[in-house]
Amino acid sequence: MMRKNALVTGAAGFIGSHLVDDLLKTGWAVTALDNFDAFYDRSLKEANAAPHRASDRYRLLEVDIRDLDRMRAQLSGDFDVIVHLAAKAGVRPSIADPLAYQEVNVRGTQNLLELAREWRTPQFVFASSSSVYGVNPRVPWSEDDAVLLPISPYASTKVSGELLGHVYSHLYGMRFLALRFFTVYGPRQRPDLAIHKFTKLMLEGRPVPFYGDGSTRRDYIFAADIVTGVRAAMEYTASRYEIINLGNNRTVSLAEMVETIEQSLGVKAALDRQPEQPGDVPQTWADVSKAGRLLGYAPRTSFSDGVAAFTEWLRGSVRTRPA
């Protein structure tokens, strides 16, 4: 049996590194792309990728997905699947710098689709986002809801990526699956995301920024469950183009999230109450029935167990800085 070969973009990041863990463990060869964007400390991504470097089935290239010529020059193109996770992330930063988000998330995605076309790569898995739904009162959110009204530049770039995928699937016959990730958390989570940020502040005895009245709700999905969904999408062959939610089909309020971290840490949070933020939606909630039907997807990690795993990881990763 020939070894399967995957190209993973954003491979040193939070979700990407968990996916690479799983691919290497199950015998895949992985070509990993990451540009080590300065959005957060490079050393965190270096630590994510460090265990992978020991494998002779792993190759890491520091490349920006906007640089099509360099990707053409450095990549062989013999991939069974491209898993495109790389993106400029975050709703609030996208409002401050929308042009950069357009360049990376839309042009970068089109560059990879062009390469997939040239290489005749049969399968393309794209990390989309629940943010594409915008402020949608019809919950839980279903992929069948065609009325997408994104309210941030980040969300609009993810809609664009899904539409580009449809064009390339239609014109060139490649299989394209857009996976709408809901709020992913777990060990290695980006430091700007709420669970990581709140837990770190609580461990340090500092106030936690608490936006609004605590009633905003998110559909949190543990990293290992997301990886299971991505792996199933990599193997899916029943149709050419699909958009699939990957969430948990359960919502957690901001207040409940803080309480769960408090229980896990044994620490009481000091809340710094602030107004709601522009670009934030009041709730996210995934209908995951399509993922179950097409991918056999069934999230297994409870929110309390996931937060416990995250807090254990964060405590273990904290290093005392020299005075």
Which residues are designated catalytic? 154
Q: What span, in angstroms and rounded, lies between the C-alpha atoms of 255 and 198? A: 12
Q: How far apart are CA 70 and CA 250, in angstroms?
A: 42
**CA dist., res. 145 & res. 180, Å (int):** 13
Beta-bridge partner residues of 129: 181
Burial of 74: CB neighbours in 10 Å, binned 0-12, 13-18, 19+:
middle
Sort strands 208-211 and 220-222 into parallel, antiparallel or unpaired. unpaired
Question: Are 225 and 219 within 8 A, CB to CB?
Answer: no
In angstroms, rounded to a whole number, what is the distance separating the alpha carbons of residues 126 and 165?
8
Q: Which residues pair with 229 in a beta bridge?
A: none
Cis peptide before 140, with omega less than 30 degrees from 0? yes
Q: Which of 267, 262, 225, 261 is nearest to 246 (CA)?
A: 225
- Spatial CB neighbours of 206, under 8 Å, sequence gap ≥ 6: 270
